[in-house]
Amino acid sequence: MTDGTTWLAAPRCIAFGGYRVVLARGLSPHELAGRLAETVSYGAEHVVVEVGDHTGESLLEFMDDTYGDSFDGIGLRLGSAGDWAYAVAYGGWPGEFGPPDPVSRGGTHVCLLEYEEENGKPVPPQFAYFHDGRLLSACNLHLDGSWGYRGVEGDPVTAAPLQELLTAAGLPDPERDGREVHRTALGVVEKYFGLSLPQDPIVSGALPAVLVEPA
């Protein structure tokens, strides 16, 4: 049973600051975490350090104790739903990861869902889907033409049908509430790619957690 992904459109659905969720088909959760650590973009090689099972709140408290402020580190909580592994980011993740296309090497399917909710610019929620090192489709989930996107980009074989589904759902619609557009777009993406993301374990359960630290 899955809750889909539309619940991510709720305010502070996972933690203050927004959400960064990476899903992968073809990897275990810990393999996914290890590949994500390789994409941290600020200098030295990074690795994952296991810190036991945590709720989102307890992981942030642990990171406060470890770094002085949870936003001075990056944590991931890990799980799986169906054939998707997932990693949910906590702490100071905004701007620290490079594109996840290398995560999709070796035939892996990877989906990125990201929203810097507290960024004052403001940055729209983002979606991107990769396979075997290639971008298949990407867009901002407000479908408003901002931040370099003018509709769905990527491989036409994958991106064009997704664009058609979003158009059929009435998007973009500048008159519609932005959060409702976000929710609707997530629903279209979820159905198109068969995504699974369980809400209760992520929001209130304890999951295996790691810190992403310099090697």
Please give the share of the chain, as a percent, with pLDDT higher than 70: 96
Are the CB atoms for 21 and 93 separated by under 8 Å?
A: no
Please give the share of the chain, as a percent, with pLDDT higher than 90: 83
Residue 112 three-state SS: strand
Q: Does 2 have pLDDT greater than 60?
A: no
Q: Write down the pTM of the prediction.
A: 0.95
Lowest-confidence segment of 14-28, 94-108, 146-160 by average pLDDT: 146-160
- Measured in whole angstroms, the distance separating CA 70 from the mean position of its chain's CA atoms is 19
| Domain interval for residue 127 | 6-214
Specify the pLDDT at position 144. Answer: 79
162 within some domain: yes
1 within some domain: no
26 within some domain: yes
10 Å Cβ neighbour count for 113? Answer: 24
H-only helix segments in 42-195: 56-67, 156-168, 178-193
Phi/psi region, residue 172 (left: phi>0; alpha: psi -120 to 50; beta: rest), is beta
Q: What is the pLDDT of residues 162-192, one digit of tens each?
A: 999 999 999 988 889 989 999 999 999 999 9
53 within some domain: yes
What's the mean pLDDT in 71-80? 97
Q: How far apart are CA 122 and CA 124, in angstroms?
A: 6
Question: Over the chain, what is the mean pLDDT?
Answer: 93
* Burial class of 42 by CB neighbour count within 10 A (0 to 12, 13 to 18, 19+): exposed
**Number of structural domains in the chain:** 1
Q: Does 1 have pLDDT greater than 50?
A: no
Q: How far apart are CA 51 and CA 77, in angstroms?
A: 10
189 within some domain: yes
27 within some domain: yes
Q: Which amino acid is at 180?
A: E
What does each C-alpha distance from 121 to 48, 116, 139, 140, 148 come to in angstroms?
A: 31, 10, 18, 14, 14
